[in-house]
A = this chain, B = another copy of it.
Amino acid sequence: MSFEPFLNPAAIAVYGASERETSPAAHILRNLLTQGFGGEIIAINPKYETVAGHPCVASQVAGGRRADLAVLAIPPQAVPAALRDCGAVGTRAAIVITAGFNDGDGPAGRERLLRVAREAGIRLIGPNCLGLLRPRLRMNATFQPAMPAPGGLALLSQSGAICSGLADMADGQGLGFSFMVSLGNSYDFGLSDALEMACTDPETTVIAMYVEGVRDGARFRAALSEACRRKPVIVLKAGRHAESAEAAATHTGALVGSDRVFSTVLREAGAVQVATLGGLLDAGRLLTAAPRLPGGRLAIVTNGGGAGVLAADRLSDRRLHPAPLPQDLRERLDGVLSRNWSRRNPIDIVGDATAAQYRATIDACLDSEGFDAVLTLLSPQSMTAPDLVADAVLAAHHRAEKPVLSCFLGGASVASARARLRRQRVPDFDLPENAVQAFAAALQASTASPGAPETPRIAAPRGPDEASGLARTLAELGPLPAGLLSDTGSRRLLASAGIPCPVPQPAATAQEAVRRFVETRGPVVLKIASPDISHKSEVEGVRLNLRTGDAVEAAFREIVAAAQARRPDARIEGVTVEPMLAPAHPRELLVGVNRDPVFGHVLTFGAGGTLVELLDDVATALLPLTPGRATELIARTKIARLLGDYRNMPAVDARALAELLVAVSDLCTALPQIAEMDINPLIASPEGLFAVDARIRLEAEVTPLLTGERDDLG
């Protein structure tokens, strides 16, 4: 659809217009009438002929009017008629402020409303939302009074209160918005739609989202990837912990997927996740001023050492160390600054620095090839003229291609300087750490988005033989039971997908055991085979490292005899024979898969073994995986360092490991009823890879992912 009726309506109808102070519609009408909206305003209420001095009609049909956008702040039971009125005159976009559709009759209320909207040909934001703000048009179609300045930031929010808070504080923060939309219960118009709207809106240069949860995983991922390819996207995900998620679920009725999965979705799409509201605002402020940072080498110019050290600390916290000062720059600054300047980055130009020295230093850093951006810090000192330093910053800001950030620490002494910087949209921050955090986020947005991997929609077959081979093998395995597969069943399934996994082979007689040993071509392990014996060691039912046929034969007899003696009741089927795998330099890894109800199969890779919970060294990726993305996934774990040459251990085959992950991915694609898989440990050694232990749980039927054309959060 075209988003024009939402973003650039020539005429807006307000259903429920009144003068009652407690009525949201009264506030909406007043906002539209008094804040400078230049389009037509149609007040609708059958009870009045005028409202707030403005003519009022009973309906668009009755009044012979036609709005592009309708705002409905009327009781739930009146909404269907109003939507039909809109449909009748050709209004195609509506914002339903009203709450309470789900009260009493649950999802039915939502379905009824959607049916009416579809019949009327209407896209519908809400219900239960704050509305929409479009500052350039001075269009405040919300029931809160603040109108932020126009600018490049689009705010897409699943919380109305966050919208109203930011709208109110934007001016003081020097933030300008292209639009703000509160999505409410997203019966029809969800985050994916809002992303498309922001993506196609030429006024929007940066997208900021407050998210509690999404429902349509595939569409959200597609919309987010597309948006990230075109504009920086910053995301504040709320409800990151179980407890908070519960609060979020109460709040909007949103279905909150596992937080780790959501972070994976964001990272894979190229969006930047921030942890705090302040982080969202600060990153938005910097990115609207500088949508792409050329690099991470930040020059810190300061007249007080302490602030510089704090900024440098924060840079290092984010693994961005202060870039060194190039020699030629040092020489240039020696000619400008007093003799006790720091001669390194942070560039401490000391307490008596003049505005001219600030200007010369900022210019020199911007001219230098050694720096990508400049952060100007100022503390009020007796010799400091904050307004003149602000002039220097403004001049550099307007002149330079590179971003110039600032932080003037203080209150009254620096208030006018800061106000000017913010009015002119210099990215100016309250505290040094905030400037640096915004810089790190902006850098992430600049480097992540263009290189974001395109999410493959279907698994790329690794070759016709292999792909069809997997399908054939699965067919041979026959119908698989739902529930947890047996150990052998799990191993067989992995082996069928080409994942090295010793499958114990049954041997009913000693002769058969010896034959299995010969086939194995190496030392073997014998284990008692009995459906009645689960703890094999307790009946002396395990023999390791058998290296000759004689040893196997003897072991068979001893094992069976011991089991019969200790458990005379048990059905003994003989033994199983499997290779004795004890490679040198083993690394214990974990490969897990689970199926998120919103985003589908998610693969987890990391350190394995018994310490897995202690280490918590894992990375996650959405399936399907390509070899490239598998390699990138591996590289994100700490244990990756252990896979190459490490101390006295030779490297393992990194390519084979990546291919194994792809094989797991292909198996899940071929067998979508896999609900959970846990290969732990997967042993990686210079001699090869193999799964030691595997658990796979299948669903009886593949539960479809929560999906649809829309984000249905209600």
Asked whether, in the complex, the Cβ of A433 is within 8 Å of the Cβ of B247, the reply is no
Q: Are the C-beta atoms of B165 and A380 separated by less than 8 Å?
A: yes
Cα separation A100 to B216 with both chains bound (whole Å) = 66
Instruction: Tell me if A210 and B277 are in contact (CB < 8 A).
Output: no
A642 is an interface residue with CB less than 8 A from chain B: yes
| Residue A269 is within 8 A (CB to CB) of chain B in the complex | no
Cross-chain pairs A/B with CB under 8 angstroms, 27 sampled = A24-B382, A145-B380, A145-B382, A146-B413, A160-B304, A161-B305, A161-B409, A162-B306, A162-B409, A164-B304, A164-B410, A165-B304, A165-B307, A165-B410, A168-B411, A169-B411, A171-B412, A240-B317, A241-B316, A244-B309, A247-B308, A250-B344, A251-B309, A275-B433, A276-B310, A276-B314, A277-B432
Given the interface pairs A238-B313, A278-B434, the reply to whether A610 lies near B382 with Cβ below 8 Å is: no
Q: A142's closest neighbor in chain B, by CB?
A: B382
Expressed in whole angstroms, the Cα–Cα distance for A239 and B311 within the complex equals: 10
A305-B250 CB under 8 A given contacts A241-B316, A276-B314: yes
Contact of A413 among B168, B316, B431, B617 (CB under 8 A): B168
Contacts of A173 in B (CB 8 A): 411
Q: In the assembled complex, how far is the CB of residue A373 from the closest CB belonging to chain B, in whole angstroms?
A: 17
Which of the residues B277, B344, B611, B617 comes within 8 Å of A431, measured between beta carbons? B277
CB within 8 Å for A251 and B348 given contacts A144-B381, A238-B309, A382-B144: yes
Is A161 in contact with B250, judged by CB distance below 8 angstroms?
no
Please judge, given known A-B contacts A168-B411, A379-B165, A380-B144, whether A306 and B241 are in contact too, CB under 8 Å.
no
Is A470's beta carbon under 8 Å from chain B? Answer: no
A306-B210 contact given A313-B244, A321-B241, A411-B170, CB 8 Å threshold: yes
- Cβ–Cβ contact B381 & A146, under 8 A: no
Q: Which of A50-91 contact B (CB under 8 A)?
A: none
Q: Is the CB of B344 within 8 A of A145?
A: no
Given known contacts A168-B412, A252-B305, A275-B313, what 19 new A-B pairs fall within 8 Å (CB)? Answer: A145-B380, A158-B306, A161-B305, A161-B351, A162-B306, A162-B307, A165-B307, A168-B380, A169-B410, A171-B411, A238-B306, A239-B313, A240-B313, A246-B344, A248-B309, A251-B342, A276-B431, A278-B433, A611-B642
Q: Does A157 count as interface, using CB distance less than 8 angstroms?
A: yes
Say yes or no: is A414 at the interface (Cβ < 8 Å to chain B). yes
Q: A314 to B168, alpha carbons, bound, how many Å?
A: 23
Given contacts A306-B161, A411-B169, A411-B171, contact A610 B247 (CB under 8 A): no
Which B residues touch A247, using CB under 8 A? 305, 308-309, 312, 322, 342, 344-346, 348
The answer, yes or no, to whether A475 is at the interface (CB within 8 Å) is: no
Contact flags (1/0) for A641-652 with B, using CB distance below 8 Å?
A: 110001101000
In whole angstroms, how far apart are the Cα atoms of A275 and B318 in the complex?
Answer: 13
Contact A306 B251 (CB under 8 A): yes
Q: Which residues of A are at the interface with B, using a C-beta cutoff of 8 A? A: 22, 24, 27, 99, 143-146, 157-162, 164-165, 168-173, 210, 212, 236, 238-244, 246-248, 250-252, 275-278, 302-310, 312-314, 316-317, 321-322, 340, 342-346, 348, 351, 379-383, 409-414, 430-434, 610-611, 614-615, 617, 638-639, 641-642, 646-647, 649
A345 surroundings in chain B (CB, below 8 A): 247
A157–B306 CB distance below 8 A: yes
Q: In the complex, which residues of chain B have a beta carbon less than 8 angstroms from the beta carbon of A144?
A: 380-382
* A171, A246, A251 interface centre (most CB from chain B within 10 Å): A251
Chain B residues whose CB sits within 8 angstroms of the CB of A379 once the complex forms: 161-162, 164-165
Q: Give Cα distance in the complex from A22 to B646, angstroms.
A: 61
Closest chain B residue to A182, Cβ basis: B306
Known contacts A27-B382, A342-B250; A168/B410 CB under 8 A: yes
With A22-B383, A310-B238 already in contact, the answer to whether A430 and B164 are too (CB < 8 A) is: no
Q: Which of A159, A307, A344, A611 has the most CB of B within 10 A?
A: A611
Complex contact B351–A160 (CB within 8 A)? yes
A413's nearest neighbour on chain B, judged by CB, is B168
Complex partner residue of A639 from B168, B276, B614, CB under 8 angstroms: B614
A617 to B411, CA, bound (A): 42
B409 touches A165 (CB 8 A): yes
Known: A161-B303, A162-B304. A413 touches B145 (CB 8 A): yes
Q: What's the least CB distance linking A537 to chain B, in Å? A: 11
Residue of B nearest to A316 (CB): B241
Q: How far is the CA of A342 from the CA of B246 in the complex (A)?
A: 10
Q: Which residue of B has the minimal Cβ distance to A169?
A: B411
Determine the residue in chain B with the shortest Cβ distance to A143.
B382
- For A408, give the chain B residue with the smallest CB separation: B165
Expressed in whole angstroms, the Cα–Cα distance for A157 and B409 within the complex equals 15
Do B159 and A305 have beta carbons less than 8 Å apart? yes
The closest CB in chain B to the CB of A26 belongs to B382
| Chain B residues within an 8 Å CB radius of A306 | 157-162, 210, 212, 238, 251
Assembly CA distance A343 to B243 (angstroms): 14
8 Å CB contact of A244 from B244, B246, B275, B316: B316
Residue on B with the closest CB to A242?
Answer: B316
Does the CB pair A312–B243 fall under 8 Å?
yes
Q: Are the C-beta atoms of A638 and B610 separated by less than 8 Å?
A: no
Q: Which 8 A-B pairs have the closest CB atoms?
A: A161-B304, A159-B306, A251-B305, A168-B410, A165-B409, A241-B316, A161-B379, A169-B411
Contact between chains at A646 and B251 (CB < 8 Å):
no
Q: How far is the CA of A614 from the CA of B647 in the complex (A)?
A: 12
* Bound-complex Cα distance A304 to B160 (A): 7
The CA-CA distance from A170 to B172 in the complex, in Å, is 18
In angstroms, how far is the closest chain B Cβ from the Cβ of A333? 15
User: How many angstroms between the C-alpha atoms of A208 and B642 in the bound complex?
Assistant: 43
Beta-carbon contact of A278 and B430 below 8 Å: yes
A30 to B322, CA, bound (A): 39
CB-CB < 8 A to A240: which residues of B?
313, 316-317
A246–B316 alpha-carbon span in the complex (Å) = 12
Nearest B-chain residue to A342, judged by Cβ? B250
**In the complex, which residue of chain B has the Cβ closest to the Cβ of A281?**
B431
